[in-house]
Amino acid sequence: MKKVWAFDLGASNGRLMVCGFDGNRLCIEEIHRFSNHPVQVTGHLYWDILRVFQEMKNGILKSIQSGHKEIASLGIDTWGVDFGLLSSDGELLGNPYSYRDAQTEEAMKLVFEIITKSEIFRRTGIEPLQINTIYQLVAIQKRSPWLIDQAETLLLTPNLLNYFFCGVRANEFTIVTTTQLYNFKQRNWDFELLERLHLPSRILAPVIQPGVVLGPTLQSINRELDIDSVQVVAVAGHDTACALAALPMKHEQSVFMSCGTWVLMGIQVKEPIVTEEALRWGFTNEGTLEGFYRLQKNIMGLWLIQQCRAAWIREGKKFTYEQEELWVKDAKPFQSFIDPDDPMFFNPEHMPNQIRQYCQMTGQHVPETKGEILRCILESLALKYRWVLERLEQLTCISLREIHMGGGGIRNPILCQFTANATNHYVIAGPVEASAIGNSLAQWISLGEMKNLQEAREVVERSFEFKIYQPQNQTEWQEAYDKFTKFLDRQNAYE
């Protein structure tokens, strides 16, 4: 059986998956999993990218020790927007900043003094968010101009790691579209925008399409790991693009949800939708494996629950996922709501206290128990998904039929069922490792083992189990949605 290595790196953990293909079905095996969290040093948040790379090499060693020796290629997908800078001799100029670093707070104001939100959205199709690459660059240019001066090449995170493996400097299309520096009409970096912001275009490596074979692993890598050369493929570098590729969607009326630290919810479109409504509602347009676009909304996802768990663990409280489910089921429904995307929840010191404070500030029942807090989060997330779905229908004039959920978030059956209940749509959940599977599909297509994405999705459907959630308790959830939308409207009126 032919095999590939799929490195799928998220903003909380990374993993190496070995993906095999026998010509009919895929099989996937997790070889190595490791944590990946930004490190706070001198008041800034950085990614420990060299430790990440070492963990990737550790995964390769484990793979070899497990008997996976004949590997055709490797591919890497990650979260978006973040990047590393290389000097003229190819050395990394410091650890990359995390998108959650506070340095970009003032940068957005500086950009909007030069170009309006509407214009930048029309040019790039990307929602203006302080995490975007464009604001990170402006912040660095203002605070540490020497760093930009010394840089010869900017590589986005998956492309930086590709470079570590094979020495090729190139930025792949899907990850490039997250930067807000890509002009979708010109299908290239927006050089005029860069000039207006006094950002050097010279540092931006060329844009390549997903599926390009970059070349073999470096001899230094081969010697260190005692492996034969492996081809490095520029898969869809953005993990959401990979996840979308792995969902067996059959028509334009299908909604995708990539569920992890963030939840990305949207539909596939041929060209970006850049209307004023899309901008006002916070939608964005990012690239797909096929070279098209995802009209989607970036929604806070399991980050809220992850941070609650982290806070409780710091307090010495240990519990299981099964206990969490029981807490949620025992809590009274629809007692209080949050807007999951409120800036208060972006990176608080103590998430449970932040949720309590939010509910107190908005005149609601203040959740006290763990079950009440978790139920508030899960119900609010599901109701926000319906809000997004309705606006997708308005923007595209398409009546949407079902929701495909993939990623680690579907391991939470309550979230899946609540999503079906809130949206009154069938939810098709699977596969769990959607990003890694989509990563491998891009490799198989590049290697000529699969003809195209349509055939690849048929293979996925044959290879993995899917669970269907049907809507329940529609009267109660409709009443809850009516309360939730009034709550959102009231909060937006205060801003």
The set of long-range contacts for 213-218, using a CB threshold of 8 Å and a minimum separation of 24, is: 213/73, 213/446, 214/162, 214/166, 214/168, 214/170, 215/166, 215/167, 215/168, 216/166, 217/74, 217/165, 217/166, 218/165, 218/166, 218/167
Tokens representing 170 are 């190139």
CB neighbourhood size of 292 (10 A): 13
Q: Do 471 and 425 touch, CB atoms closer than 8 A?
A: yes
Asked if residues 419 and 385 have their Cβ atoms less than 8 Å apart, the reply is yes
Looking at residue 141, its amino acid is: Q
Rounded (5°) CA angle 412-418-422: 150
**Do 394 and 369 touch, CB atoms closer than 8 A?**
no
Degrees to nearest 5, angle at CA 178 with 172 and 183: 80
CA nearest neighbour of 233 among 287, 168, 175, 153 = 168
Q: Beta strand pairing status for 171-172 and 207-208?
A: parallel
Count Cβ atoms within 10 A of the Cβ of residue 69 and give its class: 0-12 exposed, 13-18 middle, 19 or more buried.
Answer: exposed
Query: Closest Cα partner for 341 from 120, 141, 491?
Result: 491
Terminal Cα-to-Cα distance of the chain (whole angstroms): 57
239 part of the active site: yes
Q: Quote the CA–CA distance of 134 and 107 in Å, as a whole number.
A: 9
Exactly one of 228, 239, 339, 341 is catalytic; which is it?
A: 239
Residues designated catalytic = 239
